[in-house]
Amino acid sequence: MRVSGGILLYRRSSGRLEVLLAHPGGPFWRGKDLGAWSIPKGECRAGEDPVVAARREFEEETGLSLQGELSPLGEVRQAGGKIIRAWAVEGDCDAGRIHSNTFPLEWPPKSGKIQQFPEIDRFEWFSLENARLKLAKAQREFLDRLGDPNSAGGEPR
Protein backbone atom coordinates (compact mmCIF):
# COMPACT_ATOMS: atom_id res chain seq x y z
CA MET A 1 0.00 0.00 0.00
CA ARG A 2 1.41 3.38 -1.01
CA VAL A 3 1.19 6.11 1.62
CA SER A 4 1.94 9.81 1.22
CA GLY A 5 2.26 12.51 3.85
CA GLY A 6 1.07 16.04 3.18
CA ILE A 7 0.65 19.43 4.79
CA LEU A 8 -2.21 21.86 4.33
CA LEU A 9 -0.87 25.34 5.09
CA TYR A 10 -3.64 27.80 5.97
CA ARG A 11 -3.93 31.46 6.86
CA ARG A 12 -6.64 33.88 7.86
CA SER A 13 -7.25 36.69 5.40
CA SER A 14 -10.02 39.27 5.86
CA GLY A 15 -11.71 37.03 8.43
CA ARG A 16 -11.77 33.87 6.31
CA LEU A 17 -9.55 30.83 5.93
CA GLU A 18 -7.38 30.41 2.85
CA VAL A 19 -5.28 27.36 1.98
CA LEU A 20 -2.10 27.01 -0.06
CA LEU A 21 -2.47 24.54 -2.94
CA ALA A 22 0.03 23.19 -5.43
CA HIS A 23 -0.48 22.63 -9.17
CA PRO A 24 1.57 19.69 -10.48
CA GLY A 25 4.25 20.50 -13.02
CA GLY A 26 5.26 18.73 -16.18
CA PRO A 27 3.60 18.36 -19.54
CA PHE A 28 0.82 15.98 -18.43
CA TRP A 29 -0.76 18.62 -16.15
CA ARG A 30 -0.43 21.61 -18.46
CA GLY A 31 -3.88 23.07 -19.11
CA LYS A 32 -5.58 21.11 -16.32
CA ASP A 33 -7.11 23.10 -13.49
CA LEU A 34 -10.31 22.00 -11.75
CA GLY A 35 -9.63 18.87 -9.72
CA ALA A 36 -5.93 18.92 -10.61
CA TRP A 37 -4.49 20.77 -7.60
CA SER A 38 -3.13 19.11 -4.46
CA ILE A 39 -1.82 19.81 -1.01
CA PRO A 40 2.00 19.62 -0.96
CA LYS A 41 2.66 15.93 -0.35
CA GLY A 42 4.89 13.01 -1.21
CA GLU A 43 5.35 9.30 -0.76
CA CYS A 44 6.76 7.92 2.44
CA ARG A 45 10.06 6.12 2.19
CA ALA A 46 10.22 2.54 3.49
CA GLY A 47 9.58 2.63 7.25
CA GLU A 48 9.26 6.44 7.31
CA ASP A 49 6.73 8.09 9.62
CA PRO A 50 4.15 9.91 7.44
CA VAL A 51 4.51 13.15 9.43
CA VAL A 52 8.27 13.11 8.75
CA ALA A 53 7.54 12.53 5.04
CA ALA A 54 5.00 15.37 5.08
CA ARG A 55 7.51 17.84 6.54
CA ARG A 56 10.26 16.68 4.16
CA GLU A 57 8.06 16.90 1.08
CA PHE A 58 6.66 20.30 2.05
CA GLU A 59 10.16 21.70 2.38
CA GLU A 60 11.35 20.05 -0.86
CA GLU A 61 8.36 21.29 -2.84
CA THR A 62 8.19 24.81 -1.42
CA GLY A 63 11.64 25.58 -0.06
CA LEU A 64 9.89 26.79 3.10
CA SER A 65 10.70 25.63 6.61
CA LEU A 66 7.56 25.01 8.66
CA GLN A 67 6.97 26.67 12.00
CA GLY A 68 4.19 25.80 14.40
CA GLU A 69 2.42 22.70 15.63
CA LEU A 70 0.90 20.34 13.08
CA SER A 71 -2.74 19.38 13.61
CA PRO A 72 -3.77 15.98 12.20
CA LEU A 73 -6.39 15.94 9.44
CA GLY A 74 -6.55 12.16 9.20
CA GLU A 75 -6.28 10.23 5.97
CA VAL A 76 -8.09 9.78 2.67
CA ARG A 77 -7.81 7.15 -0.06
CA GLN A 78 -7.43 8.44 -3.60
CA ALA A 79 -9.10 6.73 -6.58
CA GLY A 80 -5.85 4.91 -7.47
CA GLY A 81 -5.66 3.43 -3.96
CA LYS A 82 -2.93 5.65 -2.52
CA ILE A 83 -3.49 6.76 1.07
CA ILE A 84 -2.74 10.37 1.97
CA ARG A 85 -2.21 11.33 5.60
CA ALA A 86 -2.32 15.07 6.16
CA TRP A 87 -1.66 17.69 8.80
CA ALA A 88 -2.60 21.36 8.95
CA VAL A 89 -0.49 24.27 10.13
CA GLU A 90 -1.13 28.00 10.14
CA GLY A 91 1.39 30.14 8.31
CA ASP A 92 1.86 32.57 5.47
CA CYS A 93 4.10 33.04 2.47
CA ASP A 94 4.20 34.75 -0.90
CA ALA A 95 2.90 31.95 -3.16
CA GLY A 96 4.28 33.65 -6.26
CA ARG A 97 7.85 33.43 -4.93
CA ILE A 98 7.85 29.68 -4.23
CA HIS A 99 9.93 27.56 -6.57
CA SER A 100 9.66 23.78 -6.49
CA ASN A 101 12.32 21.15 -7.00
CA THR A 102 12.52 19.54 -10.47
CA PHE A 103 12.38 16.06 -11.98
CA PRO A 104 13.77 14.63 -15.24
CA LEU A 105 11.41 13.34 -17.93
CA GLU A 106 11.90 12.17 -21.49
CA TRP A 107 9.94 14.76 -23.47
CA PRO A 108 8.57 14.53 -26.05
CA PRO A 109 7.96 10.80 -25.51
CA LYS A 110 10.41 8.49 -27.31
CA SER A 111 12.51 11.50 -28.38
CA GLY A 112 15.54 10.54 -26.32
CA LYS A 113 15.59 14.11 -24.93
CA ILE A 114 15.56 14.42 -21.16
CA GLN A 115 14.11 17.67 -19.87
CA GLN A 116 13.78 19.02 -16.33
CA PHE A 117 10.31 20.02 -15.15
CA PRO A 118 9.23 21.56 -11.84
CA GLU A 119 7.48 19.07 -9.58
CA ILE A 120 5.02 21.88 -8.84
CA ASP A 121 4.62 24.59 -11.46
CA ARG A 122 2.76 27.05 -9.25
CA PHE A 123 1.32 27.61 -5.80
CA GLU A 124 -1.72 29.74 -4.98
CA TRP A 125 -3.82 30.71 -2.00
CA PHE A 126 -7.52 29.85 -2.29
CA SER A 127 -10.61 30.39 -0.17
CA LEU A 128 -12.07 27.10 1.09
CA GLU A 129 -14.87 27.44 -1.47
CA ASN A 130 -12.50 27.85 -4.42
CA ALA A 131 -10.07 25.24 -3.06
CA ARG A 132 -12.92 22.71 -3.12
CA LEU A 133 -13.17 23.21 -6.91
CA LYS A 134 -9.41 23.07 -7.50
CA LEU A 135 -8.40 20.13 -5.29
CA ALA A 136 -8.33 16.51 -6.38
CA LYS A 137 -11.64 14.95 -5.32
CA ALA A 138 -10.38 12.75 -2.45
CA GLN A 139 -8.38 15.59 -0.89
CA ARG A 140 -11.45 17.83 -0.54
CA GLU A 141 -12.21 15.97 2.69
CA PHE A 142 -9.20 17.71 4.27
CA LEU A 143 -10.91 21.08 3.74
CA ASP A 144 -14.00 19.85 5.61
CA ARG A 145 -11.84 18.62 8.46
CA LEU A 146 -9.86 21.86 8.61
CA GLY A 147 -12.97 23.92 9.26
CA ASP A 148 -14.81 21.41 11.49
CA PRO A 149 -13.97 21.56 15.23
CA ASN A 150 -15.32 17.99 15.68
CA SER A 151 -13.10 16.49 12.97
CA ALA A 152 -9.74 14.78 13.26
CA GLY A 153 -8.03 18.13 12.73
CA GLY A 154 -10.09 20.18 15.16
CA GLU A 155 -10.47 23.94 14.97
CA PRO A 156 -7.67 25.79 13.19
CA ARG A 157 -5.65 27.69 15.75
Q: Which pTM does this prediction carry? A: 0.90
Query: Which burial class, exposed, middle or buried, applies to 146 when counting CB atoms under 10 A from its CB (0-12, 13-18, 19+)?
Result: buried
pLDDT of the residue at 153: 45
DSSP state of 135: B
- For residue 8, CA distances in Å to 20, 23, 25, 40 come to 7, 14, 19, 7
Q: Would you kindly state where each structural domain of the chain is located, as residue ranges?
A: 3-147
pLDDT of the residue at 116: 96
Render pLDDT for 39-95 as a digit per residue (tens, 0 to 9). Answer: 999 999 999 999 999 999 999 999 999 988 999 999 999 989 999 999 999 999 999
Helices and strands in the chain, H and E counts: 3, 8
Q: What average pLDDT does this structure show over 126-153?
A: 86
Summary mean pLDDT of the chain:
92
pLDDT of the residue at 128: 95
Render pLDDT for 15-34 as a digit per residue (tens, 0 to 9). Answer: 899 999 999 999 999 999 99
Nearest to 145 by CA among 153, 135, 137: 153
Give, in words, the CATH class of 3-147: alpha beta
pLDDT of the residue at 141: 97
Pairing between β-strand 83-90 and β-strand 3-13 as defined by DSSP bridges: parallel
pLDDT of the residue at 64: 93
